[in-house]
Chains A and B, each alone.
Chain A
Amino acid sequence: NAGVTQTPKFQVLKTGQSMTLQCAQDMNHEYMSWYRQDPGMGLRLIHYSVGAGITDQGEVPNGYNVSRSTTEDFPLRLLSAAPSQTSVYFCASTPTGGNQPQHFGDGTRLSIL
């Protein structure tokens, strides 16, 4: 019953460092997405994917990169971390082809110093 698994749960980076946040799901869901959560702003969509090999930008994609080589995994890369990227990051997945809600991971709390 793993669902959506995000690693790490916490991370502190220095400005300019790069990092990959991992997201894996074991439900064979085609659709996966990344959100960031900031106080007073709810969750905002960074990138999403409708299947292996297909990715697209969401509302706030700048400074982030994604790839989808398998159905299970959808990593989010910070290319050169900036303090403005301090946030809580959530990965979500859902099956396509039906009216299904998204399943969320427990989040990664990221601080950029």
Chain B
Amino acid sequence: AQSVTQPDIHITVSEGASLELRCNYSYGATPYLFWYVQSPGQGLQLLLKYFSGDTLVQGIKGFEAEFKRSQSSFNLRKPSVHWSDAAEYFCAVAAYDDYKLSFGAGTTVTVRA
């Protein structure tokens, strides 16, 4: 079965600084990978997804992620964070042709002025 590890529980970043959130997955074949964001008291919104092809994926709100098979990673990046990016971020993986998602524990991002 697939699994996801998000090593960082909490990250604090200054507004305007760059952000990188780490995600490592465990799965024997090519996975389907996702990043979701959750604002306080809200549901989950999809930021971006990777199924195949180009390993650098662009998403909404200026986020991007890079799939690195050799490192089993799918790290999320944003060049310049805004105060509105303060939220909890979840990395998730699904097996090929399966719909069940396995989530990481999440990383909470705090943005300081």
Contacts and interface: CB of A to CB of B under 8 A. Distances in A.
Interface residues of A, number: 23
Interface stretch (B11-19, B41-49, B70-78): B41-49
Contacts of A107: 42-43
Interface string A79-108: 000000000001010101001011011110
B105 A42 contact: yes
A50 B36 CA distance: 22
A104 B49 contact: no
Interface in B2-41: 4, 6, 9, 32, 34, 36
A33 B100 contact: yes
Contacts, number: 53
Interface in B55-102: 90, 92, 99-102
Given A44-B103, A45-B100, A105 B34 contact: no
Interface of A: 31, 33, 35, 40-45, 48, 50, 58, 90, 92, 94, 96, 99, 101-102, 104-107
Interface of B: 4, 6, 9, 32, 34, 36, 42-46, 49, 51, 90, 92, 99-106
